[in-house]
Amino acid sequence: MLRHLRKYLLPFALMYGLVVRIRNFLYDMEILRSVEFDIPVIGVGNITVGGTGKTPHVEYLVRFLKKQYRTAVLSRGYRRLSGGFVSASPDVTAAQIGDEPLQIYRKFPDIDLAVDADRIRGIRLLLEKNPSLEVIVLDDAFQHRRVKPGLMILLIDHNRMITDDLLLPAGNLREPVSGIQRAHIIIVTKCPPDMKPVDCRIIESKLRPLTHQKVFFSFLRYGDLLPVYKNAAPALPPEKLKAKNAHVFLVSGIANPAPLEHFMEQYAARLTRFVFPDHHRYSPRDLIKIFKAYDQSDAPEKYIITTEKDAMRLQTMNDIDDDIRRRFYYLPVEVGFSGEDEKLFQKEITGFIHRMQQSRIISTYRK
Protein backbone atom coordinates (compact mmCIF):
# COMPACT_ATOMS: atom_id res chain seq x y z
CA MET A 1 0.00 0.00 0.00
CA LEU A 2 2.76 2.45 1.02
CA ARG A 3 4.88 1.55 -2.00
CA HIS A 4 1.86 2.11 -4.25
CA LEU A 5 1.24 5.53 -2.67
CA ARG A 6 4.87 6.57 -3.14
CA LYS A 7 4.47 6.23 -6.89
CA TYR A 8 1.97 9.10 -6.83
CA LEU A 9 4.24 11.22 -4.61
CA LEU A 10 7.25 10.99 -6.95
CA PRO A 11 6.38 14.17 -8.93
CA PHE A 12 6.31 16.13 -5.65
CA ALA A 13 9.63 14.54 -4.66
CA LEU A 14 11.14 15.68 -7.97
CA MET A 15 9.96 19.26 -7.38
CA TYR A 16 11.24 19.19 -3.81
CA GLY A 17 14.58 17.80 -5.00
CA LEU A 18 14.92 20.59 -7.57
CA VAL A 19 14.43 23.27 -4.91
CA VAL A 20 16.97 21.61 -2.57
CA ARG A 21 19.52 21.20 -5.38
CA ILE A 22 19.21 24.88 -6.32
CA ARG A 23 19.66 25.90 -2.67
CA ASN A 24 22.73 23.67 -2.27
CA PHE A 25 24.18 24.97 -5.54
CA LEU A 26 23.83 28.57 -4.34
CA TYR A 27 25.71 27.71 -1.14
CA ASP A 28 28.35 25.67 -2.99
CA MET A 29 28.99 28.63 -5.35
CA GLU A 30 29.02 31.00 -2.35
CA ILE A 31 26.18 33.04 -3.79
CA LEU A 32 24.51 32.29 -0.49
CA ARG A 33 27.17 32.76 2.18
CA SER A 34 28.01 30.43 5.06
CA VAL A 35 29.64 31.77 8.22
CA GLU A 36 32.73 30.09 9.67
CA PHE A 37 34.02 30.56 13.22
CA ASP A 38 37.60 30.42 14.47
CA ILE A 39 36.51 28.22 17.40
CA PRO A 40 36.19 24.48 16.61
CA VAL A 41 32.56 23.81 15.62
CA ILE A 42 31.51 20.17 15.16
CA GLY A 43 28.23 19.66 13.30
CA VAL A 44 26.15 16.51 13.74
CA GLY A 45 23.22 15.74 11.46
CA ASN A 46 21.56 13.45 8.96
CA ILE A 47 20.06 13.34 5.49
CA THR A 48 16.97 11.35 6.47
CA VAL A 49 14.02 12.47 8.56
CA GLY A 50 14.75 11.43 12.16
CA GLY A 51 15.67 8.10 13.67
CA THR A 52 19.44 7.96 13.08
CA GLY A 53 20.42 8.14 16.77
CA LYS A 54 21.52 11.77 16.67
CA THR A 55 21.04 12.55 20.37
CA PRO A 56 23.06 9.54 21.69
CA HIS A 57 25.88 10.48 19.31
CA VAL A 58 25.86 14.10 20.49
CA GLU A 59 25.96 12.78 24.07
CA TYR A 60 28.90 10.55 23.15
CA LEU A 61 30.77 13.57 21.78
CA VAL A 62 30.01 15.66 24.87
CA ARG A 63 31.09 12.84 27.21
CA PHE A 64 34.37 12.53 25.33
CA LEU A 65 35.06 16.25 24.76
CA LYS A 66 34.24 17.62 28.20
CA LYS A 67 37.10 15.65 29.75
CA GLN A 68 39.59 17.76 27.77
CA TYR A 69 37.84 20.91 26.52
CA ARG A 70 35.34 23.51 27.69
CA THR A 71 32.40 22.29 25.65
CA ALA A 72 29.05 23.76 24.59
CA VAL A 73 26.08 22.38 22.65
CA LEU A 74 23.81 24.44 20.42
CA SER A 75 20.53 22.99 19.13
CA ARG A 76 17.52 24.54 17.44
CA GLY A 77 15.22 23.07 20.12
CA TYR A 78 12.74 21.36 17.84
CA ARG A 79 9.07 21.65 18.92
CA ARG A 80 9.80 23.84 21.94
CA LEU A 81 7.20 26.44 22.87
CA SER A 82 9.70 29.27 23.36
CA GLY A 83 11.43 31.38 20.73
CA GLY A 84 14.82 32.96 20.16
CA PHE A 85 17.94 32.14 22.16
CA VAL A 86 17.38 30.19 25.39
CA SER A 87 20.24 29.06 27.61
CA ALA A 88 19.69 25.93 29.71
CA SER A 89 19.54 26.25 33.49
CA PRO A 90 18.73 23.79 36.33
CA ASP A 91 14.99 24.56 36.27
CA VAL A 92 14.58 24.55 32.48
CA THR A 93 11.81 22.41 30.92
CA ALA A 94 11.28 20.54 27.65
CA ALA A 95 8.70 23.18 26.67
CA GLN A 96 11.42 25.84 26.89
CA ILE A 97 14.31 24.10 25.10
CA GLY A 98 12.92 20.87 23.60
CA ASP A 99 13.09 17.26 24.80
CA GLU A 100 16.42 16.29 23.21
CA PRO A 101 18.41 19.32 24.46
CA LEU A 102 16.88 18.79 27.92
CA GLN A 103 17.97 15.15 27.87
CA ILE A 104 21.54 16.23 27.03
CA TYR A 105 21.58 18.96 29.67
CA ARG A 106 20.25 16.65 32.41
CA LYS A 107 23.17 14.32 31.76
CA PHE A 108 25.77 17.08 31.47
CA PRO A 109 24.66 20.02 33.64
CA ASP A 110 28.23 21.33 33.80
CA ILE A 111 28.37 22.28 30.10
CA ASP A 112 26.93 25.31 28.32
CA LEU A 113 23.83 24.33 26.36
CA ALA A 114 21.51 26.62 24.44
CA VAL A 115 18.88 26.53 21.73
CA ASP A 116 18.38 28.97 18.87
CA ALA A 117 16.94 28.50 15.39
CA ASP A 118 19.41 31.17 14.26
CA ARG A 119 22.64 29.22 14.67
CA ILE A 120 24.91 32.18 13.87
CA ARG A 121 23.34 34.25 16.62
CA GLY A 122 23.32 31.22 18.93
CA ILE A 123 27.07 30.62 18.57
CA ARG A 124 27.84 34.32 19.07
CA LEU A 125 25.70 34.50 22.20
CA LEU A 126 27.27 31.32 23.62
CA LEU A 127 30.74 32.84 23.11
CA GLU A 128 29.58 36.12 24.61
CA LYS A 129 28.26 34.26 27.65
CA ASN A 130 31.40 32.13 28.01
CA PRO A 131 34.44 33.43 26.05
CA SER A 132 36.57 30.56 27.37
CA LEU A 133 34.68 27.93 25.33
CA GLU A 134 37.01 25.65 23.35
CA VAL A 135 34.57 23.62 21.21
CA ILE A 136 30.90 23.87 20.20
CA VAL A 137 28.81 20.87 19.11
CA LEU A 138 26.14 21.96 16.64
CA ASP A 139 23.16 19.60 16.91
CA ASP A 140 21.01 18.76 13.85
CA ALA A 141 23.17 20.88 11.56
CA PHE A 142 23.55 19.10 8.23
CA GLN A 143 20.95 21.11 6.30
CA HIS A 144 21.60 24.33 8.24
CA ARG A 145 24.12 25.74 5.80
CA ARG A 146 24.26 29.31 7.12
CA VAL A 147 26.93 28.01 9.51
CA LYS A 148 29.82 26.00 8.09
CA PRO A 149 31.20 23.71 10.81
CA GLY A 150 34.89 22.97 10.71
CA LEU A 151 34.00 19.28 11.07
CA MET A 152 30.71 17.81 9.85
CA ILE A 153 29.55 14.39 11.04
CA LEU A 154 26.81 12.70 9.00
CA LEU A 155 24.77 9.90 10.58
CA ILE A 156 23.22 7.16 8.43
CA ASP A 157 20.91 4.49 9.84
CA HIS A 158 22.18 0.99 9.04
CA ASN A 159 18.56 -0.19 8.76
CA ARG A 160 17.51 2.62 6.40
CA MET A 161 20.39 3.20 4.00
CA ILE A 162 20.15 6.49 2.11
CA THR A 163 21.19 4.74 -1.10
CA ASP A 164 17.89 2.80 -1.00
CA ASP A 165 15.66 5.77 -0.17
CA LEU A 166 13.77 8.52 -2.00
CA LEU A 167 13.35 12.23 -1.46
CA LEU A 168 10.49 13.63 0.57
CA PRO A 169 7.55 13.18 0.39
CA ALA A 170 7.94 9.89 -1.51
CA GLY A 171 10.70 8.76 0.87
CA ASN A 172 12.61 9.97 3.91
CA LEU A 173 15.48 11.95 2.35
CA ARG A 174 15.75 15.63 3.22
CA GLU A 175 18.11 16.19 0.30
CA PRO A 176 19.69 14.17 -2.55
CA VAL A 177 22.22 11.48 -1.63
CA SER A 178 24.94 13.63 -3.24
CA GLY A 179 24.76 15.79 -0.09
CA ILE A 180 26.91 13.13 1.58
CA GLN A 181 29.93 14.84 -0.02
CA ARG A 182 29.72 17.69 2.52
CA ALA A 183 30.51 15.33 5.41
CA HIS A 184 34.01 14.93 6.80
CA ILE A 185 33.01 11.89 8.89
CA ILE A 186 30.25 9.38 8.15
CA ILE A 187 28.89 7.18 10.93
CA VAL A 188 26.67 4.25 10.03
CA THR A 189 24.50 3.95 13.14
CA LYS A 190 22.41 1.22 14.79
CA CYS A 191 24.62 -1.55 13.42
CA PRO A 192 24.64 -5.04 14.95
CA PRO A 193 27.32 -5.02 17.70
CA ASP A 194 28.96 -8.07 16.10
CA MET A 195 28.90 -6.78 12.51
CA LYS A 196 31.56 -8.47 10.39
CA PRO A 197 34.29 -6.50 8.54
CA VAL A 198 33.02 -7.80 5.19
CA ASP A 199 29.59 -6.27 5.90
CA CYS A 200 31.26 -2.94 6.71
CA ARG A 201 33.11 -3.05 3.39
CA ILE A 202 29.87 -3.76 1.50
CA ILE A 203 28.22 -0.71 3.08
CA GLU A 204 31.25 1.47 2.33
CA SER A 205 31.12 0.40 -1.31
CA LYS A 206 27.46 1.50 -1.46
CA LEU A 207 28.21 4.88 0.12
CA ARG A 208 31.27 5.50 -2.09
CA PRO A 209 33.02 7.91 0.29
CA LEU A 210 35.49 10.46 -1.05
CA THR A 211 39.16 9.93 -0.28
CA HIS A 212 39.18 12.43 2.61
CA GLN A 213 36.01 11.04 4.24
CA LYS A 214 36.26 8.63 7.17
CA VAL A 215 33.54 5.99 7.70
CA PHE A 216 32.81 4.52 11.13
CA PHE A 217 30.23 2.04 12.44
CA SER A 218 28.35 2.42 15.72
CA PHE A 219 25.71 0.51 17.66
CA LEU A 220 23.25 1.26 20.45
CA ARG A 221 23.91 0.03 23.97
CA TYR A 222 20.96 0.01 26.38
CA GLY A 223 21.44 0.50 30.12
CA ASP A 224 19.42 -0.38 33.21
CA LEU A 225 15.87 0.94 33.36
CA LEU A 226 15.58 4.16 35.38
CA PRO A 227 12.46 5.68 36.98
CA VAL A 228 10.74 8.44 34.99
CA TYR A 229 10.04 10.15 38.33
CA LYS A 230 13.32 10.55 40.19
CA ASN A 231 13.69 8.39 43.34
CA ALA A 232 10.27 6.80 42.80
CA ALA A 233 11.89 3.37 42.35
CA PRO A 234 15.35 1.76 42.14
CA ALA A 235 17.10 1.07 38.84
CA LEU A 236 15.88 -2.11 37.16
CA PRO A 237 18.09 -4.31 34.94
CA PRO A 238 16.11 -5.47 31.85
CA GLU A 239 16.98 -9.08 32.73
CA LYS A 240 14.73 -8.84 35.79
CA LEU A 241 11.73 -8.26 33.54
CA LYS A 242 12.34 -11.67 32.05
CA ALA A 243 12.70 -13.30 35.47
CA LYS A 244 9.44 -11.69 36.61
CA ASN A 245 7.50 -12.70 33.44
CA ALA A 246 6.51 -9.06 33.22
CA HIS A 247 3.83 -7.46 31.09
CA VAL A 248 5.44 -4.35 29.60
CA PHE A 249 3.50 -1.38 28.25
CA LEU A 250 5.94 0.27 25.86
CA VAL A 251 5.28 3.97 25.19
CA SER A 252 7.27 5.67 22.41
CA GLY A 253 7.09 9.00 20.64
CA ILE A 254 10.26 8.73 18.55
CA ALA A 255 10.96 8.59 14.81
CA ASN A 256 11.90 4.90 14.68
CA PRO A 257 10.82 2.75 17.65
CA ALA A 258 11.71 -0.56 15.95
CA PRO A 259 15.14 -1.08 17.66
CA LEU A 260 13.60 -0.31 21.06
CA GLU A 261 10.72 -2.71 20.44
CA HIS A 262 13.10 -5.43 19.30
CA PHE A 263 15.18 -4.98 22.46
CA MET A 264 12.17 -5.13 24.80
CA GLU A 265 10.77 -8.20 23.04
CA GLN A 266 13.76 -10.11 24.41
CA TYR A 267 12.78 -9.40 28.04
CA ALA A 268 9.02 -8.88 28.24
CA ALA A 269 6.77 -11.91 28.61
CA ARG A 270 4.05 -9.78 27.04
CA LEU A 271 4.48 -6.47 25.20
CA THR A 272 1.74 -3.90 24.59
CA ARG A 273 2.79 -1.00 22.38
CA PHE A 274 1.62 2.60 22.44
CA VAL A 275 3.21 4.36 19.47
CA PHE A 276 2.98 8.14 19.06
CA PRO A 277 4.55 10.56 16.54
CA ASP A 278 8.10 11.82 17.06
CA HIS A 279 8.34 14.58 19.72
CA HIS A 280 4.70 13.94 20.67
CA ARG A 281 3.30 16.24 23.36
CA TYR A 282 1.49 13.89 25.72
CA SER A 283 -1.97 14.87 26.87
CA PRO A 284 -3.97 13.66 29.89
CA ARG A 285 -6.10 11.70 27.41
CA ASP A 286 -3.02 9.79 26.19
CA LEU A 287 -2.08 8.85 29.75
CA ILE A 288 -5.63 7.80 30.62
CA LYS A 289 -5.55 5.40 27.66
CA ILE A 290 -2.19 3.94 28.76
CA PHE A 291 -3.10 3.69 32.45
CA LYS A 292 -6.44 2.07 31.65
CA ALA A 293 -4.69 -0.72 29.74
CA TYR A 294 -2.19 -1.05 32.59
CA ASP A 295 -4.99 -1.36 35.20
CA GLN A 296 -6.83 -3.97 33.12
CA SER A 297 -3.81 -6.26 32.90
CA ASP A 298 -4.00 -9.21 35.31
CA ALA A 299 -0.23 -9.82 35.16
CA PRO A 300 1.35 -10.07 38.63
CA GLU A 301 4.30 -7.95 37.43
CA LYS A 302 3.71 -5.08 35.03
CA TYR A 303 5.63 -1.96 34.04
CA ILE A 304 5.23 1.08 31.82
CA ILE A 305 8.46 1.71 29.90
CA THR A 306 9.29 4.62 27.65
CA THR A 307 12.30 6.21 25.97
CA GLU A 308 14.63 8.68 27.63
CA LYS A 309 13.48 11.40 25.21
CA ASP A 310 9.81 10.73 26.00
CA ALA A 311 10.59 10.80 29.72
CA MET A 312 11.68 14.44 29.40
CA ARG A 313 8.11 15.34 28.37
CA LEU A 314 6.29 12.91 30.64
CA GLN A 315 8.06 14.10 33.81
CA THR A 316 6.06 17.33 33.79
CA MET A 317 2.80 15.41 34.20
CA ASN A 318 2.58 15.18 37.98
CA ASP A 319 -0.98 14.01 38.59
CA ILE A 320 -0.04 10.32 38.57
CA ASP A 321 -0.80 7.59 41.09
CA ASP A 322 2.12 6.54 43.32
CA ASP A 323 1.80 2.88 42.30
CA ILE A 324 2.20 3.79 38.64
CA ARG A 325 5.12 6.12 39.44
CA ARG A 326 6.93 3.15 40.99
CA ARG A 327 6.37 1.12 37.80
CA PHE A 328 7.09 3.88 35.27
CA TYR A 329 10.59 3.57 33.77
CA TYR A 330 12.63 4.80 30.83
CA LEU A 331 15.37 2.96 28.98
CA PRO A 332 18.63 4.96 28.62
CA VAL A 333 20.76 4.38 25.56
CA GLU A 334 24.41 5.03 24.72
CA VAL A 335 26.55 4.65 21.63
CA GLY A 336 29.29 2.10 21.16
CA PHE A 337 31.70 1.72 18.24
CA SER A 338 32.66 -1.44 16.40
CA GLY A 339 36.21 -2.80 16.60
CA GLU A 340 38.95 -0.17 16.50
CA ASP A 341 36.54 2.51 15.29
CA GLU A 342 36.27 4.20 18.69
CA LYS A 343 39.98 5.04 18.97
CA LEU A 344 40.15 6.13 15.34
CA PHE A 345 37.01 8.27 15.67
CA GLN A 346 38.29 9.98 18.81
CA LYS A 347 41.61 10.61 17.08
CA GLU A 348 39.80 12.36 14.21
CA ILE A 349 37.93 14.59 16.67
CA THR A 350 40.97 15.60 18.74
CA GLY A 351 43.07 16.04 15.59
CA PHE A 352 40.52 18.48 14.17
CA ILE A 353 40.39 20.51 17.40
CA HIS A 354 44.20 20.60 17.64
CA ARG A 355 44.49 21.85 14.03
CA MET A 356 41.89 24.56 14.69
CA GLN A 357 43.67 25.67 17.86
CA GLN A 358 47.04 25.79 16.10
CA SER A 359 45.53 27.79 13.24
CA ARG A 360 44.01 30.23 15.73
CA ILE A 361 47.36 30.70 17.49
CA ILE A 362 49.16 31.34 14.18
CA SER A 363 46.46 33.78 13.07
CA THR A 364 46.69 35.69 16.36
CA TYR A 365 50.49 35.80 16.13
CA ARG A 366 50.40 37.24 12.59
CA LYS A 367 48.06 40.00 13.72
Model pLDDT for residues 268-308, shown as the tens digit of each residue: 999 999 999 999 999 999 999 999 999 999 999 999 999 99
Q: What is the pTM of this model?
A: 0.94
Whether residue 32 has pLDDT greater than 80: yes
Which residues have a Cβ under 8 Å from the Cβ of 144 and sit 6 or more positions away?
43, 45, 76, 119, 138
**Angle, vertex CA 142, rays to CA 138 and CA 148, nearest 5:** 65
pLDDT of residue 240: 94
How far apart CA 204 and CA 189 sit, in angstroms, is 13
How far apart CA 199 and CA 220 sit, in angstroms, is 18
Whether residue 199 has pLDDT greater than 90: yes
Q: Is 34 helix (H, G, I), strand (E, B) or coil?
A: coil
- State mean pLDDT over 340-361: 93
Whether residue 8 has pLDDT greater than 90: no
pLDDT of residue 3: 61
Alpha helices per DSSP H over the chain: 2-28, 54-65, 94-97, 99-107, 119-129, 197-207, 238-243, 258-265, 284-296, 308-314, 322-326, 341-366
Top pLDDT among 205 and 6 is at: 205
Model pLDDT for residues 68-96, shown as the tens digit of each residue: 999 999 999 998 999 999 999 999 999 99
Q: Is the dihedral of CA 137, 142, 148, 151 positive or negative?
A: positive
pLDDT, averaged across the chain: 94
Same fold yes or no, 32-221+337-351 and 224-331: yes
How far apart CA 99 and CA 97 sit, in angstroms, is 7
How far apart CA 181 and CA 200 sit, in angstroms, is 19
pLDDT of residue 1: 52
- State mean pLDDT over 39-65: 96
What residue type is 236 in one-letter code?
L
| All structural domains of the chain with their residue ranges | 32-221+337-351, 224-331
Q: Is 194 helix (H, G, I), strand (E, B) or coil?
A: coil
pLDDT of residue 339: 82
| 32-221+337-351: CATH, from 3.10.180.10, 3.40.50.300, 3.30.750.24, 1.20.1250.20 | 3.40.50.300
Whether residue 316 has pLDDT greater than 80: yes
Residue pair 102/92 in contact (Cβ under 8 Å)? The answer is yes
In this structure, which topology does domain 224-331 adopt according to CATH?
Answer: Rossmann fold (3.40.50)
How far apart CA 41 and CA 284 sit, in angstroms, is 41
For residue 139, give the nearest of 166, 164, 102, 107 by alpha carbon.
102
How far apart CA 312 and CA 330 sit, in angstroms, is 10
